[in-house]
Chain A
Amino acid sequence: MSKMNITIDGKNIEVDSNSTILEACKKLNIIIPTLCHLDLHDLKMVNKSASCRICVVEVEGRNNLVTACSTPVADGMVVNTHNIRVMNARKTVLELMLSDHPAECLSCSKGGNCDLQHMAERFGMREIRVTGKSQSTYRKDKTVSIRRNLDKCIMCRRCETMCNEVQSVGALSAINRGFDAVVAPTFEVNLHDSVCTFCGQCVQVCPVGALTETDRSWEVIEALANPRKTVVVETAPAVRVALGEEFGYEPGTNVTGKMVSAFRQLGFDYVFDTNFAADLTIMEEATELLERIKRLKSGEKDVNLPMLTSCCPAWVAFIETQFPELLDIPSSVKSPQQILGIIAKTYFAEKINVDRKDMVVVSVMPCLAKKYEAGIESFKEDGNPDVDIVLSTREFAQLIKLSNIDFNSLENEDFDNPLGESSGAGAIFGTTGGVIEAATRTAVEWITGESLDNVDYKSMRGEEGIRIANLKVKDLEINIGIANGLGSARELLEEIQAGNPRNLHAIEIMACPQGCIDGGGQPYHHGNIDIIKKRKQAIYEVDGKKTIRKSHENPSIQKLYKEYLGEPLGEKSHKLLHREYDKKERV
């Protein structure tokens, strides 16, 4: 890489020739304000729309100010980042942006987490001299997962970049011009009628309150206050390694014990673990995979392989809308969230003699698509959903704060049994590669009949969007694909359509880059990807510390099959734990 010398605010620096002025400034510890710019390099997302103009700087010899985020350096360039001309322009840019932004910060769900609000603080905005055209009034759009309030949109287009370039979903695009410009689904249909998968990555990167989750935390308060209801909670593996961030803990702190304690303080009757249901998922999924491979080995033609994992509702929505011709290959196992729900409302409800209509299952998830999943008609019995209310990690943190609980001073407590016991295999469901590693631990032992010495399948771990692991188990060769991020999923699916050249037998897919740890419902990372890496480390630590690390060795799972389900893929398991898929025609 050739180098270039440039001068910024009187300081010289040598940088790579493909750097932007912004990158050069960072090296000199000059913090240029940015809003639309977002560089999530490791997640293959760089938003360089240069639309907000807040990062303008002066380059000597050029007439106009330039955007630092998108202007490449040139040898000998002299840049001024804070002379009066630049500061005036920047202030005006921010004032213009604020002039038609609804001043609803007090009641905005992004309040305190809003990059525009932070920018106004940083600039010390005390008055806005501009009165723009009266604030835009684009219709609000509310799905069960995501709310769109485009009046707050600053047209940074991060959501569009995420939806199209990273996720390859294509639900969102900038439309119209001038004051009418908004980011919207095709033909301005509601998000619910678009190809949106509700992965929530757009919400995760939205700098303002234009895209947020649909908040249901008050319904939880109402359920807890209702003496006729038995209120059960389940929580996903990725929540416990991120929740602490909302209470000042270092990213990657595992706060499982305090989290369980917080649930009890809130008044939940039973605190269960989605990791338990993850173990149950593995029992069914590993059985299903072995059964399909067996059919293949016996010479059967047209076996529905590679088997795709089915835990991630955004991914399921993606295949249902974009690859309907492949709907026979995903595993038919429900997601852990739904499995916990139905087991709580059948097996457990019978045990404690409560009618399912008097039981409320609340689920705390790192995910916004889980909200949509819980509402799917086939996951209801006579209108009563298996999972009643889904909260994001963020909403749950809000609930704790709202209930006067000093999270940091809570003692560590354990989950309730029987739906609270889990293996390390269940824990790693929260990160890319984890589901298939968990399934492998069980499948390999079932094939060999021997106990595994080392359950760490390092070949399945990693950060790349697509990874391949080749296993040899006795005389069986099993080829495994792993995709995280829907763009990577699309690549693998197109490969399958092109004849499966790598002869893959199983593929794990998670819709969010890096998996649930970076889910759309997690605490906002504000572009700091180190946070995601730390959450991932924490997940593997949870697994490493468990005495039981294989799903089939979880005693509560063994007991559940013995007492209630029979065997994996058996009649009862099939009825309760498996599902069908629907082709969806969307734009």
Chain B
Amino acid sequence: MPNKIKVNLNSSHFQELDSFIDGLETTEGELISILHKAQSIFGYLPKEVQIHIAKRVNVPVSRVYGVVSFYSYFTMKPKGKYHISVCTGTACFVRGADAVLRDFEEELEIKSGETTKDGLFSLDSLRCVGACALAPVVLINEDVYGKEDAKKVKEIIQKYMKINSEG
């Protein structure tokens, strides 16, 4: 079982987050950057992390949750080790992004917004990554796939499974 995804809320993660917050000159106006950091540390933003951040930044938890729920980048569900984002912006959409998304859903047997049981893949759609010339565009973590690539869904998934099994 892959267990490299950061979903456990261990104290070293909180320490890492705290030292990031301590390193800031001020926490005022820094909520979003703190949430970014937290998501990169924990992999997602569970309630406990939001409550912790609210205390550290001295704002109500409701405000933190307001920000987390507003931006689609932030997630309260653990993401997979390989997070797949299918662009469904206008340019990608007219070039068949909905079909690409459907292919991923069928291949991974999950719906958009969900994570596979083994924690390896999660799937989401987003709006316009600004690479319309490549449409339809798919992002997998930092990797970008466009045009014809994006239609070879099965092969792409296998590629990551292979990378994972090789460690």
| Contacts from A to B (Cβ < 8 Å) | 164, 169-177, 185-187, 194-195, 587
Query: Which one of B47, B51, B60 contacts A164 once the chains associate, using CB atoms below 8 Å?
Result: B60
Interface contact B70-A587, CB-CB below 8 Å: no
- How does the 8 Å CB contact mask read for B40-53 relative to A, with 1 for contact and 0 for none? 00000001001100
Interface contact A171-B70, CB-CB below 8 Å: no
Interface contact A171-B62, CB-CB below 8 Å: yes
Residues of B within 8 A of A174 (CB): 66, 70
Residues of A within 8 A of B70 (CB): 174-177
Distance between Cα atoms of A345 and B63 in the complex (Å): 44
Given A176-B70, A177-B70, A187 and B60 contact (CB-CB distance below 8 Å): no
Distance between Cα atoms of A170 and B66 in the complex (Å): 11
Interface contact A170-B60, CB-CB below 8 Å: yes
Is residue B69 within 8 Å, beta carbon to beta carbon, of the partner chain? Answer: yes
Given A164-B60, A587-B61, A173 and B66 contact (CB-CB distance below 8 Å): yes
Most buried by A among B50, B60, B64, B65: B60
- Residue of A whose beta carbon sits closest to that of B60: A170
Residues of A within 8 A of B69 (CB): 175-176
CB distance from A171 to the nearest CB of B (A): 6
| Contacts from B to A (Cβ < 8 Å) | 47, 50-51, 59-66, 69-70
Interface contact B65-A187, CB-CB below 8 Å: yes
* Given pairs A171-B62, A173-B66, A186-B62, 11 additional interface contacts (CB within 8 A): A169-B60, A170-B60, A172-B62, A173-B62, A173-B65, A176-B70, A186-B60, A187-B47, A187-B50, A194-B62, A587-B61
Where chain B touches its partner, the secondary structure class is helix
Residues of B within 8 A of A171 (CB): 60, 62
Residues of B within 8 A of A186 (CB): 50, 60-62, 64-65
Distance between Cα atoms of A134 and B127 in the complex (Å): 23
CB distance from A318 to the nearest CB of B (A): 13
Distance between Cα atoms of A436 and B42 in the complex (Å): 50
CB distance from A41 to the nearest CB of B (A): 24
Residues of A within 8 A of B62 (CB): 164, 170-173, 185-186, 194, 587
Distance between Cα atoms of A242 and B66 in the complex (Å): 36
- Residue of B whose beta carbon sits closest to that of A586: B61
Residues of A within 8 A of B59 (CB): 170
Interface contact A164-B65, CB-CB below 8 Å: no
CB distance from A556 to the nearest CB of B (A): 45
- Residue of A whose beta carbon sits closest to that of B63: A173
Distance between Cα atoms of A173 and B66 in the complex (Å): 6
Interface contact A164-B63, CB-CB below 8 Å: yes
Distance between Cα atoms of A225 and B53 in the complex (Å): 54
- Residue of B whose beta carbon sits closest to that of A177: B70
Distance between Cα atoms of A195 and B64 in the complex (Å): 14
Residues of A within 8 A of B50 (CB): 186-187
CB distance from B138 to the nearest CB of A (A): 23
Residues of A within 8 A of B64 (CB): 186
Residues of B within 8 A of A194 (CB): 62
Distance between Cα atoms of A195 and B60 in the complex (Å): 10
Distance between Cα atoms of A185 and B63 in the complex (Å): 9
Most buried by A among B50, B60, B62: B62
Distance between Cα atoms of A186 and B70 in the complex (Å): 13
Given A164-B60, A170-B60, A186-B61, A175 and B51 contact (CB-CB distance below 8 Å): no
Residues of A within 8 A of B47 (CB): 187, 587
Instruction: Identify the 3 closest CB pairs spanning chains A and B, nearest first.
Output: A170-B60, A173-B66, A173-B62
Distance between Cα atoms of A176 and B74 in the complex (Å): 11
Given A177-B70, A187-B47, A587-B51, A170 and B63 contact (CB-CB distance below 8 Å): yes
Residues of B within 8 A of A587 (CB): 47, 51, 61-62
CB distance from B166 to the nearest CB of A (A): 39
Distance between Cα atoms of A169 and B59 in the complex (Å): 10
- Residue of B whose beta carbon sits closest to that of A180: B69
- Residue of B whose beta carbon sits closest to that of A168: B60
Interface contact A175-B65, CB-CB below 8 Å: yes
Distance between Cα atoms of A587 and B50 in the complex (Å): 11
Residues of A within 8 A of B63 (CB): 164, 170, 173
Distance between Cα atoms of A209 and B70 in the complex (Å): 24
Distance between Cα atoms of A185 and B51 in the complex (Å): 13
Distance between Cα atoms of A172 and B66 in the complex (Å): 9
CB distance from B69 to the nearest CB of A (A): 4
Residues of A within 8 A of B65 (CB): 173, 175, 186-187
Distance between Cα atoms of A187 and B68 in the complex (Å): 10
- Residue of A whose beta carbon sits closest to that of B61: A186
Q: What are 25 residue pairs bridging A and B, where the CB atoms are less than 8 Å apart in the complex?
A: A164-B62, A164-B63, A170-B59, A170-B60, A170-B61, A172-B62, A173-B60, A173-B62, A173-B63, A173-B65, A173-B66, A175-B65, A175-B66, A175-B69, A176-B69, A176-B70, A186-B50, A186-B60, A186-B61, A186-B65, A187-B47, A187-B61, A187-B65, A587-B47, A587-B62
Distance between Cα atoms of A187 and B70 in the complex (Å): 12
Residues of B within 8 A of A172 (CB): 62
CB distance from B54 to the nearest CB of A (A): 8
Distance between Cα atoms of A171 and B60 in the complex (Å): 8
Residues of A within 8 A of B66 (CB): 173-175
CB distance from A188 to the nearest CB of B (A): 8
- Residue of B whose beta carbon sits closest to that of A587: B61
Most buried by B among A164, A170, A173, A587: A173
- Residue of A whose beta carbon sits closest to that of B59: A170
CB distance from B76 to the nearest CB of A (A): 8
CB distance from A273 to the nearest CB of B (A): 38
CB distance from A165 to the nearest CB of B (A): 11
CB distance from B71 to the nearest CB of A (A): 9
Distance between Cα atoms of A578 and B116 in the complex (Å): 56
Distance between Cα atoms of A546 and B4 in the complex (Å): 76
Distance between Cα atoms of A587 and B54 in the complex (Å): 10
- Residue of A whose beta carbon sits closest to that of B67: A173
- Residue of A whose beta carbon sits closest to that of B71: A177
Residues of B within 8 A of A169 (CB): 60
CB distance from B118 to the nearest CB of A (A): 27
Residues of B within 8 A of A173 (CB): 60, 62-63, 65-66
Distance between Cα atoms of A185 and B64 in the complex (Å): 11
CB distance from A197 to the nearest CB of B (A): 13
Residues of B within 8 A of A170 (CB): 59-63
Most buried by A among B47, B63, B66, B70: B66
Residues of B within 8 A of A185 (CB): 62
Distance between Cα atoms of A517 and B65 in the complex (Å): 33
CB distance from B127 to the nearest CB of A (A): 11
Residues of A within 8 A of B51 (CB): 587
Distance between Cα atoms of A185 and B62 in the complex (Å): 6
CB distance from A513 to the nearest CB of B (A): 19
Distance between Cα atoms of A174 and B67 in the complex (Å): 9
CB distance from A342 to the nearest CB of B (A): 35
Distance between Cα atoms of A187 and B65 in the complex (Å): 6
- Residue of B whose beta carbon sits closest to that of A182: B69
